[in-house]
Structure 1
């Protein structure tokens, strides 16, 4: 384990749990800590990328913001996996739905993460890498969502580098290949997990439908995100089969 703290994380050795929930927004991390966790400590405030550790249903769990885009989540997840001994990271975030039959508030479990990013170039692979979720986490997430009565879809998402794209037809082309939703982080998280031989899963709440313009209000997003948080917390504190 490398020396800690790092330039991006104030945490000392042992302050971060083996399971980490990672929303993009650090204020969502704070919300989870304040509303779901007990005996909470704040382990990181560097650049206001808040991180907390506490207990949920008697199990130790951490939650930390990961920021927007693959460069940001790439830094934080790399350090958690390689410097702090984290074994699994569950990304929880919003996504734009492009898959047929998706509805607002549905959860998408990202089995795979397509990308237009060059993130995989660093690994020097002689081909195109396909970032995928940990199957154990994925299968347990499906079961957990079912127990909680939460609708889920499982499949491919697109982790894109560009939010405001000049290519207005790109989303339809991705949808034609079965991609369910657009987001910006899962592919980097999955690649970092593979490189570190750790586990990762992205759980995404559909906050808007790209082709119809439908979107959740701020109040409705809070409700949807609460469902996503509960699925992720149950998953983070359950034993792997």
Structure 2
């Protein structure tokens, strides 16, 4: 859809189109890396608050990419505006996560089929019970097919979307791990709930950047530029 004349307090495209499929890294510099290295005919559509956004083509298909920042509140704002103001239909978060399983290692790729959370984001929907937060099966199925074709092994399962990065409870992650949670990140739950309410598709693709129990981690530069396999999978999901 055309974004001409549309803007929000956080996204100002100045008439540049935002594609119906968008990749959403947390780091805006990862968005720039994707635009510079994977897309053709690139035009920048956002720089408000330093949250860089670009639209271009990948294998002839239009696609956008934009940073979302860190945490529930940030991705909650950006995904809501992209869906409800700019008409985005497919939102693919490509982020980093901390492993909490012994057999899930640095650089492994995870598809978040479900999103457990300690956030209270769902309270706004006034639901008469607990909501099961899940990915779009349509996007999940497509992404798994792409990964298989590329020969990229992936883990599919439940992840934790936490509002807390520095947790005062040192036992929290151990308890999530015992429930089979693969890894921890901070955005999938809000993204999935916003998409579900609006009837659009969302998927969270993660690369393991650190291991919480083994105290292993990648560098900031690696997180920005080296997680290319998940980028390649996500780019193939353009309509």
Query: Which residue number in structure 1 is paired with residue 68 of structure 2?
Result: 66
8 Å Cα contact 1:106-1:150 kept in structure 2: no
Aligned CA RMSD, in angstroms, stands at 1.7
CA distance in 2 between counterparts of 1:176 and 1:216 reads: 25
Partner secondary structure for residue 217 of structure 2: coil
Moved over 6 A (4+): none
Greater CA deviation, 53-62 or 96-105? Answer: 96-105
Q: 1:112 aligns with which of 107, 111, 114?
A: 114
Query: Which residue number in structure 2 is paired with residue 43 of structure 1?
Result: 45
The structural deviation recorded for 1:30 is: 0.7
CA distance in 1 between counterparts of 2:220 and 2:14 reads: 35
Greater CA deviation, 7-16 or 30-39? Answer: 7-16
Partner secondary structure for residue 86 of structure 1: coil
The structural deviation recorded for 1:221 is: 4.2
CA distance in 1 between counterparts of 2:85 and 2:182 reads: 33
Partner secondary structure for residue 108 of structure 1: strand
The structural deviation recorded for 1:142 is: 1.1
Q: Unmatched 5+ residue regions in structure 1?
A: none
CA distance in 2 between counterparts of 1:23 and 1:226 reads: 12
Q: Unmatched 5+ residue regions in structure 2?
A: none
Partner secondary structure for residue 205 of structure 2: strand
Greater CA deviation, 134-143 or 209-218? Answer: 209-218
CA distance in 2 between counterparts of 1:218 and 1:73 reads: 20
Q: 1:176 aligns with which of 175, 178, 194?
A: 178
TM-score of the aligned structures, taking structure 2 as reference length: 0.94
CA distance in 1 between counterparts of 2:180 and 2:74 reads: 27
Partner secondary structure for residue 132 of structure 1: coil
CA distance in 2 between counterparts of 1:137 and 1:93 reads: 16
The structural deviation recorded for 1:29 is: 0.4
Query: Which residue number in structure 2 is paired with residue 8 of structure 1?
Result: 10
TM-score of the aligned structures, taking structure 1 as reference length: 0.94
Query: Matched residue pairs, number?
Result: 237
